[in-house]
Chains A and B, each alone.
Chain A
Amino acid sequence: MNTIGWPNFRSLNQEGIVFAIAVVLFVAAAIGLPGFIDPNNLVAIVRSVSVLGILALGMAVVIIGRGIDLSAVAIMAMSVAWYLQLLNSGTPDGLAFAYVLAGVLAIGLLNGFLVAYADVPAIFVTLATGSFVFGYVRSQLITQDAVPVPQGHWVELLGGLRFLDIPIEVFVFAGLAFLFFLFLRYTKWGRYIYFAGDNPVAARNIGMPVRPMLVLRYVLSAFVALVAGLLTAASLHSINTRVVNSTLLYDIVLVAVIGGIGLSGGRGGVRNVLVGAALIGILLNAMTIIDIPLLYQNLIKAAILLGAIIVDGIINPRDEQTAQQGDI
């Protein structure tokens, strides 16, 4: 194989490439940028991608099962906005939280049911439920784009919580990453997700409960979104539903995909999310330190993503053997 002159990069997949880029960037930033290597800055990097990473974990599980959840950001912002609105209008905390949990569960179930049992493509279902959640909550349940956290409420206290001077988001991200790792690696349904994602028909034929598993994944993703929303509100002392219109959703997919989780399903894991999040975190932090305007930041981010995909395409070419049915 090496006779054409290509060095043997076969062992290097996209995850490896992105990891390599992240390491190179990290070293370059550590040498070139004053203050980058400071422990506080490193904590800030991890923190800045914690919420993104948490959302990407939920997205990863859905994508591995050959789906996609485009309603994640809407669920994240709107569930918490509704919760805070209920609190602000005097609903008892326990009751308000129960309402919101029920709402999140219902949307997760609806997503899962429509994809699994009504056989509607996930991309359409979640696009529609995302818009529905946003439109309904925004027009019927809350009065303002931004809903503040009531003073002294536990969500506000959560935002100030530190262990060893490290913000709580970092621990939640780490904890969830570990739980998802355990789930995907060591539980039966976790392992099954890979089979169902790789070949749903075959998985079903050998007797896996493919459909209930699908529903579970969307419910998981919805709850993960709620956690991400609570952490966002905790830090900012309010939640702004404008985030639904932002590029956050694409950033979530970006983190998952750039880390090497194929959109065609069946491949990847928690490690890919961590690698993807690390790259984005280092990149954004370095660019902010250098003071690069946002427009160029987006350009650079996109160029690196494109670069990673192209390099992956060269060293891991797709052919009839590696391509799967349902590749996007």
Chain B
Amino acid sequence: MKLIKTLMAAATALAVTAFVAPTFAADDPGPAAYAQALKGKRVMLVPLAMGFDLAQGWAHYLKTEVEAWGGVFETRDPNWVVDAGAQAITDAISSDTRPDVLIIHAPDLNSYSKLMKKAQAAGTYVILVDNPANFPADAFIGSDWDRLGQLEAEAAIKGCGPNSSKKIGLVQGDQANSSSLYQYAGIMKVLDKNPDFKVVAKPDSNWDATTSRNVTTTMLQQNPDICSIIDFWDGDATGASAAIRDAKLDGKVFLVTTGGGEKAADCDKLVDGTYGAVVMTDLARQSGDMNAIIKFLLQSGQPAGTSHTYIYTLEKATTKADLKPDSCWDLKALQAQAAAAK
């Protein structure tokens, strides 16, 4: 009996070691935990609109990642209408398929604050992207607009040069959007340190290219010796550039703007001289940050609204001189890629 018992014990031990040893080597608990935490989770992006480069770029990079780990990625298109965005968020929170992560591109400092609070109370992590808001979101990912404004002002001063008129014109966005307000604050910080440079006019474009053209025309009419203009968004800076072209001041006025680093919107226009400098957001990296924080939050197990992280994207003023083949991303290429995947 004893022998048999010993043999069986030995056999069991052998069997156990034989089976356990290889499993032990292969069984990294990471992927299983990762898959379990993420599988089937829903991520929703509510940008200001789906029809412009930033939103389409984010959506592309997010969708690729989220679907790769077995999640569901959705977008809503408020088409620049604040109410429609609020409606989309409300519907999302109360629907049966409530998103686990809500990525919100806020139109201003306050509009969505209550809704974001509701979303967190319902258990949805809220990530703010690009535009800050008066709300402690789980994470903010985007530009430090103040720093971005400083970079623009530095580029404008450099573009003007020491022997210029040292007159700078601003074409602001509006007086409600945080990106416009903070950008302005950043620009003024740099100009305060360079007192010989002066802002001669600072009209608003209301983010509209025609308005930007009209106010820039007036600005150049009043101050034909302006050496640089900072337009607060590449979406309407086409208007400012049209005004400069019409006033036959091409090459004399150094136009600085900011944008998402899309090829047709930014790099092509640096090449043809329309823009002197563009402070570009590295969109792929910004989307990568979003993906990382989504994965972190979903695995953290912490209730929504516990932590507040700020992840600022590295910004850089790019001029024609330091343009590289990979300075921009190409929306057309992404769309072609998406069409081919279908």
A residues near B, CB below 8 A? 34-35, 38, 40-41, 44, 47-48, 51, 138, 143-146, 148, 159-160, 167, 232, 235-238, 240-243, 245-246, 284-285, 288-289, 291, 293-295
Contacts and interface: CB of A to CB of B under 8 A. Distances in A.
Interface string B206-220: 111110011101110
A41 B220 CA distance: 10
Interface in B213-265: 213-215, 217-219, 221-222, 235, 238-239, 242, 245-246, 264
B204 A293 contact: yes
A237 B242 contact: yes
A145 B51 contact: yes
B102 interface: no
A294 B206 contact: yes
Interface size on B, as a range, is 35 or more
Contacts of A235: 210, 213, 242, 246
B11 to A, nearest CB: 68
Contacts, number: 85
Contacts of A159: 242
A242 to B, nearest CB: 6
B221 A40 contact: yes
> Top 5 nearest A-B pairs by Cβ distance?
A145-B51, A294-B204, A48-B214, A288-B218, A44-B217
Given A236-B213, A238-B238, A288-B203, A146 B52 contact: yes
Contacts of B210: 51, 232, 235-236, 243
Given A144-B52, A236-B239, A291-B201, A245 B221 contact: no
28 contacts: A38-B221, A44-B217, A44-B218, A138-B51, A144-B52, A146-B235, A159-B242, A235-B213, A235-B242, A236-B209, A236-B210, A236-B213, A236-B238, A236-B242, A238-B238, A240-B209, A242-B49, A242-B235, A243-B208, A243-B210, A284-B214, A288-B214, A288-B215, A288-B218, A288-B219, A291-B202, A294-B174, A294-B206
B335 interface: yes
Nearest to A40: B221
A240 B213 contact: no
B175 interface: yes
Nearest to B268: A148
Contacts of B264: 148
B51 A289 contact: no
Nearest to A145: B51
Contact of A144 (B51, B215, B242): B51
